[in-house]
C-alpha cells in the first residue's frame, strides 16, 4: 500500500477488516476511472466523512488509544490500597534508611547501580546523576506491624523505571521477578 494512503487517525471497517479511508477512496477511483485519485485532492478527514455519511463504520484511533492507556496514578495501582501505599512510600522516602542503604552500597561496590537493570545514573547522566538512586522497600507493608524498624537489608536500590515497574499493576513484584522479566525481554 502506498505510504501516502496511510491513515494516522482513521480506520474504515469493511467486512471486519480495517483499511485507511483515503486508500479505499483512491482504489475506488482507480476502478471507476482508471486513474488513482490524487492523494492531495482528498484528505483523510474528507475520506472519513465520505464513508461516515454513507453509514460505514470509521474508527478514530485516537479515541481508541485513550481507552488503552492505563491510569498511572500510583495509588490506584497499589494492590494493598491507598493507606498501605502511603505507608510504603513513607518508608521508602524515609531518607535516613535509604541514605544508609546507599552509603553501604557505595562502600561495598563503589557505585550505585539499579538492582534490576544495573543502570548507573552517574554513568548515564554524568554529574547530574551523581548519587541518585531510589530506595524500594522490599517487604510488603501488610507484613509490617508498624513497630518493626526498617533495616538496610529491606531496601533495594532501583532506578526510577524499574521502581515504577515493580509497583505497576495489581501485584507488587519482587526484585528477582522483575529482573527475570527484564533479562528475558533484553535477550530477544
Comparison of 36 and 120: residue with beta carbon closer to Zn ion: 120
The DSSP 8-state label assigned to residue 19 in this structure reads E
CB closer to Zn ion, 25 vs 101: 101
Residue 185 phi, psi dihedral angles, 5° rounding = -75, -30
**What is the contact mask toward Zn ion in residues 93 to 122, using x (rule: CB under 5 A)?**
---------------------x-xx-x---
85: which 3 cell numbers? Answer: 501505599
Shortest distance, position 110 Cβ to Zn ion, whole Å: 18
Site string for Zn ion, 116-155 (x = CB under 5 A): xx-x----------------x-------------------
Contacts of 173 (CB under 8 A, 6+ apart): 165, 166, 181
**Binding to Zn ion by residue 58, rule CB under 5 A?**
no
3-state secondary structure of 78: coil
**Residues 8-27, interacting with Zn ion (CB under 5 A):** none
178: contact with Zn ion by CB under 5 A:
no
**What letter does residue 13 receive in the DSSP assignment?**
E
Question: Could you tell me if 137 and 158 are in contact, meaning their C-beta atoms sit under 8 angstroms apart?
Answer: no
Q: Which is nearer to Zn ion, 25 or 119 (CB)?
A: 119
Contact assessment for residue 114 and residue 159, using Cβ atoms and an 8 Å cutoff: yes
Extract the C-alpha cell encoding 166: 515493580
Looking from the CA of 145 toward its CB, the CA atoms found within 13 Å total 2
Residue 162 in contact with Zn ion, rule: CB under 5 A? yes
- Written as nine digits, the cell of 144 is 509490617
Q: At its nearest, how many Å lie between Zn ion and the CB of residue 151? A: 16
Closer residue to Zn ion, CB minimum distance, 11 or 115? 115
Instruction: Give me the residues that bind Zn ion (CB under 5 A), please.
Output: 114, 116-117, 119, 136, 159, 162
Amino acid at each position: 500500500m502506498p505510504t501516502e494512503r496511510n491513515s494516522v487517525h482513521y480506520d474504515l471497517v469493511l467486512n471486519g477488516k480495517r483499511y485507511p479511508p483515503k486508500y479505499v477512496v483512491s482504489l475506488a477511483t482507480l476502478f471507476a476511472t482508471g486513474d488513482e485519485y490524487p492523494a492531495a485532492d482528498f484528505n483523510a478527514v474528507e475520506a472519513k466523512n465520505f464513508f461516515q455519511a454513507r453509514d460505514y463504520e470509521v474508527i478514530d484511533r485516537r479515541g481508541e488509544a485513550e481507552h488503552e492507556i492505563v491510569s498511572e496514578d500510583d495509588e490506584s495501582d497499589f494492590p494493598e490500597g491507598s493507606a498501605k501505599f502511603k505507608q510504603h512510600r513513607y518508608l521508602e522516602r524515609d531518607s535516613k534508611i535509604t541514605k544508609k542503604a546507599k552509603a553501604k552500597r557505595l562502600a561495598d561496590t563503589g557505585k550505585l547501580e539499579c538492582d534490576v537493570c544495573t543502570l548507573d545514573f552517574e554513568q548515564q547522566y554524568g554529574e547530574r546523576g551523581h548519587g541518585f538512586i531510589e530506595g524500594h522497600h522490599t517487604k510488603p507493608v501488610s507484613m509490617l506491624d508498624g513497630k518493626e524498624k526498617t533495616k538496610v537489608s529491606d531496601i533495594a536500590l532501583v532506578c526510577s523505571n524499574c521502581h515504577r515497574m515493580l509497583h505497576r499493576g495489581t501485584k507488587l513484584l519482587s526484585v528477582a521477578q522483575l529482573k527475570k522479566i527484564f533479562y528475558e525481554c533484553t535477550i530477544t
